[in-house]
Amino acid sequence: MGAGKPPEAGEPWPGLPCAMPAPRFQNAAKGDTALEIPLLETLIMALVIFLGALIQGAIGFGLGIIAAPFIVMIEPALIPGLILFVALPLASLTVWRDIAGLALGELTWAIIGRIPGTLAGLGFLAFASTRLLSVLLGLSVLFAVVLSARQPRIRRTRPRLFGAGVLSAFMATTTSVGGPPMALLYQSAEGRSVRANLAAYMVIGTVGSLVALIAVGRFTLAHAGVSTLMLFPTFLGFLLARVVLPLINPAWFRPGLLILCTAAGLTALVNGLVG
């Protein structure tokens, strides 16, 4: 992101008194260094994941929408694996916290819909370029913003839950932004019900998507190494969600969030279009 060439893995960062080396993550499958992410960009990833976890801990989704557009510009290979990896424990904690609102029975059709959606997503990843992935990610985020802004009320039926499951799985497997289709169906529900059901759906679906990505070589030990580092800001955001967000004025929180997501989506879209 910054000017000049970043240091090689293991070399000290110029100007830092602690001489901190650039993070290095080894790909055991290939035997070479697959991912070398400069310290500044690692910190930026941690910040956007913290913010995404903070939002998701409060409203039930938002981690991918906020963090993925920035991460795809830092290291496209980390999408969707990194977001899915950190979303799994985050969603599990949300289910545990809000389990009183869980209605697992009605989620069955959405979970069934994840099977064809995940397979379609894997097929897309087989030929998608980095630029195409960035474009799709940008469009997915903007799609989520439009849905959030309009807030249409849609009744939950089995066909709609199945269709939302298919679309959500495709979006999650390709871009890590899989929450909006399901959130659209649950947005008129009570807050605890929204968080619990979206989180339960994400837990089941994320496990399937991660297994599929591992099977096709899109999530390796190198990806797992970076993703593990991002667990700390994820947990921190979740823990602070209930403390910080009630203090924020709701009159400007929602518009501010939509503006932030729009900017992130447009940035990812333009980055994919112009290269």
pLDDT value at residue 253: 66
Q: Copy the structure tokens of residue 1.
A: 């992101």
Residue with structure tokens 């297994």? 211
Residue with structure tokens 């729009």? 262
Q: How many residues does the chain have?
A: 275
Residue 178 has pLDDT above 50, yes or no: yes
Distance, in Å, from the CA atom of 240 to the CA atom of 245, rounded to the nearest integer, reads 8
Model confidence pLDDT, tens digit, residues 16-74 = 444 344 455 444 344 444 578 899 999 999 999 999 999 888 777 788 888 988 898 89
Residue 85 has pLDDT above 80, yes or no: yes
Q: Among 4-18, 119-133, 237-251, which range has the highest average pLDDT?
A: 119-133
Beta-bridge mates of residue 111? none
- Taking CA atoms, 82 is separated from 75, 90, 135, 217, in Å, by 10, 13, 18, 14
**227 Cα distance to chain centroid:** 12
Q: Is 173 within 8 Å of 212 (Cβ atoms)?
A: yes
Residue 206 has pLDDT above 80, yes or no: yes
pLDDT value at residue 207: 93
> Lowest-pLDDT range, 35-49, 76-90, 249-263?
249-263
Q: Is 19 within 8 Å of 210 (Cβ atoms)?
A: no
> Lowest-pLDDT range, 66-70, 81-85, 87-91, 159-163?
66-70
Backbone dihedral angles phi then psi of residue 143, each to the nearest 5 degrees: -60, -45
CB atoms inside a 10 Å sphere around CB 1 = 10
80: cis peptide before it, omega within 30°? yes
178 by Cβ neighbours in 10 Å (0-12 / 13-18 / 19+) ranks as buried
Q: Copy the structure tokens of residue 181.
A: 């289709």
Q: Copy the structure tokens of residue 206.
A: 């994320």
Model confidence pLDDT, tens digit, residues 98-151 = 888 888 888 999 999 999 999 999 998 888 887 888 888 889 888 888 877 776
Q: Which residues of 144-169 are buried (b: 16+ CB within 10 A; e: fewer)?
A: bbebbeeeeeeebeeebbbbbbbbbb
Distance, in Å, from the CA atom of 158 to the CA atom of 161, rounded to the nearest integer, reads 5
Q: Average pLDDT of the chain?
A: 81
Beta-bridge mates of residue 25? 35
Q: Is 231 within 8 Å of 86 (Cβ atoms)?
A: yes
Residue 273 has pLDDT above 70, yes or no: yes
